[in-house]
Amino acid sequence: MTEDGAAAVAAVAAVAERIEAERDHLTELDSAIGDADHGGNMARGWAAAAEAARDLDDPDTGTVAKTVGKTLMSEVGGASGPLFGGSLVFAAAELDGGVDAETAVAFAETYLEKVEDRGDARVGDQTMVDALTPAVHTFKKSIETDDLPPIEALAKAVDAAERGVAFTVPIRARKGRASYLGWRSVGHQDPGATSTLFILEELLAVAADRLGVDAPETDATSPTIPDEDPDEGASEDD
């Protein structure tokens, strides 16, 4: 197996374990503004994805990503299955030529684009997009503008996602089940944004582990709200 492929399989296993550990937490968040299935949906999907990834014979990262995406599409269900899974299948092609800073940015951007296409949500709609958008923009900016090593760019992306999750609390849901609640969705943290953050945290942990370094400190205490444009409004500590 390629080094990258082995890291990808390890990352999927780590995500599955984390999501299983957070199952009740995610379900609790979804019971406040949804139908209390996000923890179960995600735990079932990621457990199946980890198994499917483990069963691959000598895969590269693109193949792992595609397999995980397909499995999530068929196993997660709900609104989030096609968003997480379908977008991953599509973005996986960006990794076919191998994983480096450039293809990682392309992967992240394509994934976000697909989530936006499929779900039609944007920042401020109280969905996973609120965590994903600032994470992807920050990752891209950290690599292309600030010239940071990918692992540090990923740590910045995790920070940005964490701020994005916090940002979902005081706003009103405009997409997905939570939007049926209208103003009553205000004051609740979005489950899909939260699971997106957990996935990114595990990717960071596995990447750091593979590089043999400590995961760079993440620090989401900066009060910045998610950036719409990666070239503007960077937080002071970026």
Question: From ligand ADP, Mg ion, none, which one binds at residue 26 (CB under 5 to 8 Å depending on kind)?
Answer: none
Q: Decide whether 4 or 30 has the Cβ nearer to Mg ion.
A: 30
Mark residues 9-48: x for contact with Mg ion by CB under 5 A, - for none. ---------------------x---xx-xx----------
Question: What is the per-residue burial (b if ≥16 Cβ within 10 Å, else e) of 150-177?
Answer: beebbbbbbbbbbbbbbbbeebbbbbbb
In this structure, the chain runs to a length of 238
Minimum separation from the CB atom of position 130 to ligand ADP (A): 8
User: CA 211 to CA 206: how far, in whole Å?
Assistant: 9
Count of residues binding Mg ion (CB under 5 A)? 5
Question: From ligand ADP, Mg ion, none, which one binds at residue 192 (CB under 5 to 8 Å depending on kind)?
Answer: ligand ADP
Residues of the shown chain interacting with ligand ADP in the complex, contacts defined by CB under 6 A: 30, 34-35, 37-38, 41, 78-80, 83, 119-121, 127-129, 175-177, 190-193
DSSP one-letter string for 143-175: HHTS---HHHHHHHHHHHHHHHHHHHTTS---S
Q: Decide whether 8 or 72 has the Cβ nearer to ligand ADP.
A: 72
**Applying CB under 5 A, does 227 fall inside the site for Mg ion?**
no
Minimum separation from the CB atom of position 192 to Mg ion (A): 9
Could you identify the residue written with the tokens 């992807």? 136
DSSP character at residue 224: P
Question: From Mg ion, ligand ADP, none, which one binds at residue 114 (CB under 5 to 8 Å depending on kind)?
Answer: none
Question: What is the per-residue burial (b if ≥16 Cβ within 10 Å, else e) of 23-54?
Answer: bebbbebbeebbeebbbbbbbbbbbbbbebbe
Give residues in contact with Mg ion (CB under 5 A).
30, 34-35, 37-38
